[in-house]
Amino acid sequence: MRFDEGHESPDLIDRRAKGKGKGGSRMGGAGILALAPMLLRMGPVGIVIGVLLLGVSYLGGGIGGGTADDEKVGITQTTGASVAEEKEKHFAAFVLDDAQATWRMLFSRSGKRYESAKLVLYRDETSTACGFGQSATGPFYCPSDDKVYIDLAFNEELATRFGAKGDFTQAYVLAHEIGHHVQDLLGAAAMVKGFRKTQRDGETGANVRLELQADCFAGVWAHTTQKRGLLEEGDLEEALAAAAAVGDDRIQKQAGGRVSPESFTHGTSEQRARWFRAGFEHGAVDSCDTFSASGL
C-alpha cells in the first residue's frame, strides 16, 4: 500500500516504553481458543466479546481498569524500538488517519458527525477502560474509552502463525478495529440487543454478525483506497487471505480441535472474506447490514 509519512494521525498514543518488553508472558493459540466459550458467556448487553485472530476484537462495557490522562498523543520516537517496528508504527498512524478521514467523510454525507477513536500502541499489557488488556488477546477495541489497542508484535505472529503477510494485512486488522468504533457510533449495542431478542442463534449469532460487519466496514475503507490509487498489486489479495486465515473454523482446526460452530465468535473463513469483499466492491455502509441478512 502506498503511504505518506507526512499524513499520519494525531490520534496515536504510544505506550510501548511502559511495557515489559519481549519478556512478557504470552498465551498459545490453543489456550486462547479455550477461553472463547467463557468469553461468550460474559453477559450483559454492553459487553460484546469476540476473538479476532488470537484474541478479543470488541470489548464492551466499563469493567474496571482505567487509562492515563497525561499521555502524549501523536508520533514520537520510542526508545528501544527497532527500525522495523518504527516503520510499522508510522504505517499504522497513516492507516488510522486515512481510515478515520474516510469515515468522517461518509458520516458527513449522511448528516452525522464522526468522533475520532484513538490508537494505543503498547507492549505486553496495558490498562483500558474495559479492563486489563494483554497482547495475548490480540488487537481489540474498547468502546468505553473509544480506543483501539494493538501490540505491534502481533504483526509478526500474524505472519508466522497464520501465514498472513504484507502491509495490507496489517491495514486490514486496524481497519477492522476502526470498524468496531464505527459500529459503536452507529449504536452497536442496540443492534446486538435487538438481534438477540428476535433470533434463535442468540448471543453467538449476534457476535458473529457484529464481527462480520466490522470486516465489511474495513472493506468499505479499502474501496476508497482503491479509488484514490493507494492500493498496490496484491493488496486486495493480502486482505482477503488475512480474513480467510482468521476464520473461526480455520483457527479451531489449527489448534487441533474439532470445528464447533456453536462457539464461533467471528465467522468462518469464507464468511469473513465474503463480507470484506462486499464492502470493498460496493463501498457503501448499506452493503454491510449483517444483522438483516438472511444468510451470512
Q: What pLDDT does 70 receive? A: 43
Does residue 294 fall inside a structural domain?
Answer: no
Relative to beta strand 131-134, strand 147-150 is unpaired
Does residue 4 fall inside a structural domain?
Answer: no
Give how far Cα 247 sits from Cα of 45, 211, 224, 254, 270, Å.
24, 11, 25, 11, 7
pTM, to two decimals = 0.80
Does residue 246 fall inside a structural domain?
Answer: yes
Does residue 130 fall inside a structural domain?
Answer: yes
Does residue 220 fall inside a structural domain?
Answer: yes
**Gap between the Cα atoms of 153 and 222, Å rounded:** 24
Residue pair 173/158 in contact by the 8 Å Cβ criterion? yes
Domain that holds residue 186: 12-288
Over the stretch 184-224, which tens digit does the pLDDT of each residue have? 999 987 888 778 777 656 566 888 899 999 999 999 999 99
Number of domain units in the chain = 1
Over the stretch 88-121, which tens digit does the pLDDT of each residue have? 999 999 999 999 999 999 999 999 999 999 999 9
Does residue 125 fall inside a structural domain?
Answer: yes
Does residue 6 fall inside a structural domain?
Answer: no
Grid cell in block for residue 33: 481458543
Does residue 164 fall inside a structural domain?
Answer: yes
Kindly give the confidence (pLDDT) of every residue in the chain, 296 residues in length, as a single tens digit, with 9 standing for 90 and above. Answer: 988 766 789 999 999 987 554 333 333 333 333 333 333 333 332 333 333 333 346 655 433 344 444 465 555 555 566 888 888 999 999 999 999 999 999 999 999 999 999 999 999 999 999 998 988 888 999 999 999 999 988 888 878 877 788 899 999 999 999 999 999 999 987 888 778 777 656 566 888 899 999 999 999 999 999 999 999 999 999 999 888 888 887 778 777 777 777 667 788 899 999 999 999 999 999 999 998 888 88
